Homo-oligomer: A and B are copies of this chain.
């Protein structure tokens, strides 16, 4: 029993090590450029052993993307006791810190790494939906269900945050604080616009 548990733990630990390595590898090079051999060589293990942990390169990649998504989720988790606007600013600080520290991986996943794989696309969509959900809670009154226009505005703003962050990473002309400020103002503006549209409609 103890032996079985030790063996399982060490399998999990080895899988984790491989996933960490995968985060590095796929941050540097796109999925199609990386072979199973490259991964095995980088990990210092045989191809056979690598297949023992991950049945295919795709399975390995899905595990890497899921790990990155979970990590981003955990890092951007905010203190629920904060006031909504404070919490929003805090969440954005963490988001932009994540983006800056994982620049290449972030860009790879959003820009080129998602591929036609439905599972990978679903993971990335999940991250976006979770971000929208949190922000919706911060910008709408507790309890009520937000109007469709506000929900669409917040979902749009998640796209805004991604696109603006990618542009910022590439050209880096604003400080992180300036970008955060821009994102908050853009959100406030979009939500106000959605509210007006709902009221007018």
Which A residues lie at the B interface, using CB under 8 A? 30-32, 111-118, 121, 125, 128, 148-149, 151-153, 155-164, 166-168, 171, 173-175, 178-179, 181-183, 185-186, 188-190, 192-194, 196-197, 201
Contacts and interface: CB of A to CB of B under 8 A. Distances in A.
A30 B116 contact: yes
Contacts of A151: 167
A115 B114 contact: yes
A196 B201 contact: no
A159 B164 contact: yes
A171 B148 CA distance: 9
Nearest to A108: B116
A95 to B, nearest CB: 13
Number of this chain's copies in the assembly equals 2
Contacts of A117: 32, 112
A74 to B, nearest CB: 23
Given A115-B112, A178-B149, A192 B193 contact: no
A161 B156 contact: yes
8 contacts: A30-B116, A115-B116, A152-B173, A156-B163, A160-B160, A162-B163, A182-B193, A188-B189
Given A156-B164, A157-B160, A189-B193, 9 more contacts: A148-B171, A152-B167, A155-B163, A159-B163, A160-B160, A160-B190, A182-B194, A185-B190, A185-B193
A119 to B, nearest CB: 10
A148 to B, nearest CB: 4
Contacts of A158: 163
A156 B152 contact: no
Given A112-B114, A182-B152, A192 B189 contact: yes
B174 A185 contact: no
A149 B180 CA distance: 11
